[in-house]
Amino acid sequence: MRIIFMGTPDFAVASLKALLDAGQNVVAVVTGPDKPAGRGQKLHQSAVKLFALEHNLPVLQPEKLRAPDFLAALQSYQADLQVVVAFRMLPEVVWNMPPMGTINVHASLLPQYRGAAPINHAIINGEKESGVTTFLLQQEIDTGNILLNEKVKIEDNDTAGILHDKLMHAGARTLIRTIEGLKNGSITPTPQDEKDGQPLKHAPKIFKEDCVIDWNNSTEQVYNKIRGLSPYPAAYTLLDGKVLKIYEVDKEQAAPKSTPGSFETDGKSFLKFNTTDGHINLVSLQIEGKKRMSVEEFLRGYRFD
């Protein structure tokens, strides 16, 4: 079976590696164009491109997915199947090209958490379980017929970064099972059940304004938001008018001594912010203009206004 793989970040590399390790015939890789990054604005190659080049796989980097030259190149590989992991939304002319269609690996248990940021939103909402789903692409995003899924437990101290890695490996495993099932005819695509009694939860893209911490929420809500945005894009608050990104915290259920958003510190070992019903103790953070550091490192060098 001739497979074209489409993806961009590290999350997708695990699935591409799994395909090669399983002896699947990946005939080409499609990824995003090189982009300038960093202070020098040097062109940055995607994680998928770097991996593909290391393994001598042909790489396509279209600016526009409907461009005639890209479509012709795609067609020339005569793929039986396309696999998409963490890539752009595809036009029908692309996802409908191979005879077996296009499989997507999505980091949630569909139909829950459709959208661009399922990992973040699952933790922010305090979920105890997530997972991955393979499904066949169709016109509306994340709505195609389900092939397989795998559940993954979310621990109380899991951050978005930790869950990302769990789901990355689960996605790779599930993709291989899916392709084998399609080969031997053991998988029957199943329509997504949107009427199972559970309200649909969505996972839209996260913007900077979504990362502001509202200390008027409960300790549990603030704790979930911080770990759901860690390490990227990171929840933040203002301290003396400066942006303070918060990465790791402990929660403390105790009657706050002051108003939500105010903080307490001994200037040496702890810095904690009040919520409506407790405290959030900072463990690692980054003040505007400085590197990420532990709260002890921060307190040794910071002078409060």
What would the pLDDT profile of 80-106 be if each residue is shown by its tens digit? Answer: 999 999 999 999 999 999 999 999 999
- pLDDT of 27 > 80? The answer is yes
What distance lies between CA 200 and its chain's CA centroid?
19
The band of 4, judged by pLDDT with boundaries at 50, 70 and 90, is very high
136, 101 in Cβ contact below 8 A? yes
Q: Say what the pTM is.
A: 0.95
Q: Reply yes or no: is the peptide bond before residue 233 cis, omega within 30 of 0.
A: yes
Q: Determine if residue 285 is labeled as part of a ligand binding site.
A: no
109 annotated among ligand-binding-site residues: yes
111 annotated ligand-binding residue: yes
Poorest-confidence range of 38-42, 96-100, 146-150? 38-42
- CATH fold of the domain at 2-184: Rossmann fold (3.40.50)
Looking at domain 208-301, its CATH superfamily turns out to be Formyl transferase, C-terminal domain (3.10.25.10)
**Which residues are within 8 A (CB) of 297 and not within 5 positions of it... i.e. 6 or more apart?**
none
The annotation status of 269 as a binding-site residue, yes or no, is no
pLDDT beyond 90 at 272 = yes
Helices (H), the chain: 10-21, 47-54, 68-76, 92-95, 118-124, 160-184, 219-228, 295-301
CA–CA gap between residue 299 and residue 151 (Å, rounded): 41
Give the number of other CB atoms < 10 A from CB of residue 147: 23
Element (H, E) at 145: none
Query: What is the distance between the alpha carbons of residues 262 and 267, in angstroms, rounded to a whole number?
Result: 15
Give backbone dihedrals phi and psi of 16, rounded to 5 degrees, phi first: -65, -45
pLDDT for 204-227, tens place per residue? 999 999 999 999 999 999 999 999
Q: What are the residue ranges spanned by the domains of the chain?
A: 2-184, 208-301
